[in-house]
């Protein structure tokens, strides 16, 4: 069949369109294609700069804040998706997740999120969601701590509900590897995500109460955890004496407490993981995650690349988009709530 020139041109145009669509979709493999890194380019172009400025100011008085904010994004995304549910206070319609066991007297940084929201409401009122502020804060925090950068995906909207039961079921420091894998799989994350994201324990603090069983009475044996290095145990016994203050703070990564690097994995290989959930990644019998720990321990570059990818994966858990949810004016309450 011979085609007229106009038909050929039309087909060529269609082809270009198809190729363009494939390229655009292919640029975000695995993502729901709903979030975009340029979401606020037209409506709030300074969003990253504004969040960074607020975080840097908070960091002047609080070296731990970058770690705390990174954890908030995790605790948000694992509970009914990245919808800023963790930020809601108690109200007539909300039972706040802030008082769930993993968060109560543990999750922190809410005031800094409020400060970022306030600054954004001045610059571009009603535009930037609280869920996106958490995603941006995590990205800025990791970068300012010496970690990798990634194109943070944006366009999440804020939910109107919280779920304290789901918050109580967040991964626990006392979970074994099987349970950790199940909790990650339940939100679509795999072994590589579990190992890479656990690497966030390269910075921040942890209370004694989460290690005392490993020091003195592991699994009701009246013995220490056999997978805990003796020298590290002796160090932690000084810091966390039996019957002492369970809220006393320790560095999650004593080799570089506030820096984002791959030392966490080398520590695990030396049986110096702080939490049982950290050490399980290597020491659970036949752990399929052990080779991933080894690869991240031997190459910071490989770890950084995986961490960036897994943060994007985590940020894609069940976002509200389009006309779902709302853009909260105040991250602590739903609009028109009471
Ligand atoms: C794999 C399952 C995980 C468990 C069981 C777990 C558990 C914990 C626990 C018990 C603490 C100490 C809390 C306290 O002492 O008050 C902590 C701290 C922290 N976690 Fe995790 N975590 C997990 C995964 C993650 C993930 C995925 C991230 C982020 C991507 C993360 C980031 C952090 C950070 C940065 C801190 C320090 C926070 C601060 O200093 O305020 N964790 N985690
Ligand atoms: C919020 O509600 C929960 C559950 O009813 C309760 O345990 C907690 O103490 C309340 N917190 C405040 C600050 O009112
Ligand atoms: C949260 O912690 C406070 C102590 O700051 C405690 O009084 C309260 O009972 C805890 N709430 C829950 C629900 O465990
Ligand atoms: C892991 O923990 C779960 C829940 O506590 C338990 O049912 C399971 O037997 C444990 N698995 C292993 C391999 O220890
Ligand atoms: C060790 O833990 C078990 C179970 O939690 C408990 O019954 C036992 O009394 C504990 N031992 C000590 C010395 O506290």
Matching residue, tokens 């009471």: 338
Nearest-angstrom CA–CA distance, 184 and 156: 21
Nearest-angstrom CA–CA distance, 98 and 8: 62
CATH number of 47-167: 1.10.520.10
Nearest-angstrom CA–CA distance, 295 and 301: 10
Q: Any known ligand binding at 191?
A: no
3-state secondary structure of 272: coil
pLDDT tens, position by position, 233-261: 999 999 999 999 999 999 999 999 999 99
Active site residues per annotation: 75
Residue nearest to atom 6 of ligand 5 (CA): 220
For the chain, domain boundaries: 47-167, 177-313
Q: Is 104's C-beta closer than 6 angstroms to any atom of ligand 3? A: yes
pLDDT at 5: 45
Helix (H) / strand (E) element for 249: namely strand 249-251
Q: Any known ligand binding at 97?
A: yes
281 CA to centre of ligand 5 in angstroms: 26
Closest CA to 150 of 206, 73, 44: 73
Average pLDDT of 103-114?
A: 98
Matching residue, tokens 């220490």: 224
pLDDT tens, position by position, 130-187: 999 999 999 999 999 999 999 999 999 999 999 999 999 999 999 999 999 999 999 9
DSSP secondary structure code for residue 251 in this structure: E
pLDDT tens, position by position, 200-219: 999 999 999 999 999 999 99
Average pLDDT of 107-127?
A: 98
Residue nearest to atom 11 of ligand 2 (CA): 90
* pLDDT for residue 12 is more than 80: no
Contact between residue 50 and residue 116 where contact means Cβ atoms under 8 Å apart:
yes
Q: Which ligand is nearest to the CA of 332?
A: 2
Dmax (CA) for the chain in angstroms is 89
pTM: 0.92
Q: Is 96's C-beta closer than 6 angstroms to any atom of ligand 2? A: yes
pLDDT at 24: 42
pLDDT at 338: 66
What are the percentages of helix, strand and coil residues in the chain, rounded to 5? 50, 5, 45
pLDDT at 211: 98
CATH topology assigned to domain 177-313: Peroxidase; domain 2 (1.10.420)
Higher pLDDT: 305 or 29? It is 305
Tell me the average pLDDT of the chain. 93
Average pLDDT of 322-331?
A: 97
Phi/psi for 337 (5° steps) reads -90, 175
* pLDDT for residue 10 is more than 90: no
Average pLDDT of 45-49?
A: 98
Q: What percent of the chain has pLDDT over 90?
A: 89
Nearest-angstrom CA–CA distance, 182 and 129: 30
Confidence of residue 29 (pLDDT cuts 50, 70, 90): very low
Closest CA to 200 of 239, 255, 145: 145
- Surface-to-core class of residue 36, CB atoms within 10 Å of its CB (0-12 exposed, 13-18 middle, 19+ buried): middle
In the structure, which protein residues have their CB atom closer than 6 angstroms to any atom of ligand 5? 217, 220, 222
Confidence of residue 337 (pLDDT cuts 50, 70, 90): confident
HSE toward the beta carbon, residue 27, CA cutoff 13 A: 12
DSSP secondary structure code for residue 222 in this structure: S
The strand ranges marked E within 162-233 are: 205-207
Contact between residue 152 and residue 134 where contact means Cβ atoms under 8 Å apart:
no
* pLDDT for residue 11 is more than 60: no
């Amino acid at each position: 069949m011979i085609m007229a020139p106009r038909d050929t041109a039309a087909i060529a145009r269609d082809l270009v369109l198809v190729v363009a669509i494939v390229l655009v979709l292919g640029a975000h493999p695995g993502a729901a294609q709903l979030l975009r890194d340029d979401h606020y380019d037209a409506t709030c172009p300074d969003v990253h700069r504004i969040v960074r400025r607020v975080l840097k100011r908070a960091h002047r008085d609080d070296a731990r804040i970058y770690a705390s904010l990174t954890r908030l994004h995790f605790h948000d995304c694992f509970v009914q998706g990245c919808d800023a549910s963790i930020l809601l206070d108690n109200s007539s319609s909300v039972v706040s997740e802030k008082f769930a066991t993993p968060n109560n007297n543990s999750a922190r940084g809410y005031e800094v999120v409020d400060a970022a929201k306030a600054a954004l409401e001045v610059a571009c009122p009603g535009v930037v969601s609280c869920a996106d502020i958490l995603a941006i804060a995590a990205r800025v925090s990791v970068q300012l701590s010496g970690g990798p950068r990634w194109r943070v995906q944006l366009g999440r909207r804020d939910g109107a509900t919280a779920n304290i039961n789901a918050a109580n079921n967040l991964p626990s420091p006392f979970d074994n590897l099987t349970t950790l894998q199940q909790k990650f799989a339940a939100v679509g994350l795999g072994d590589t995500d579990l190992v890479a994201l656990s690497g966030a324990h390269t910075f921040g603090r942890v209370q004694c109460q989460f290690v005392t069983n490993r020091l003195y009475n592991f699994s009701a044996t009246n013995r220490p955890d056999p997978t805990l290095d003796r020298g590290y145990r002796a160090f932690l016994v000084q810091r966390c004496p039996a019957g002492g203050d369970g809220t006393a703070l320790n560095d999650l990564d004593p080799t570089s407490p506030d820096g984002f690097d791959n030392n966490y994995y080398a520590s695990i290989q030396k049986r110096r993981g702080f939490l049982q959930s950290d050490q399980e990644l290597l020491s659970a019998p036949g752990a399929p995650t052990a080779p991933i720990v080894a690869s991240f321990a031997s190459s910071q570059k490989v770890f950084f690349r995986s961490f960036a990818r897994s943060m994007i994966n985590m940020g894609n858990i069940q976002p509200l988009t389009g006309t779902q949810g709302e853009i909260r004016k105040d991250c602590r309450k739903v609009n028109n709530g009471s």
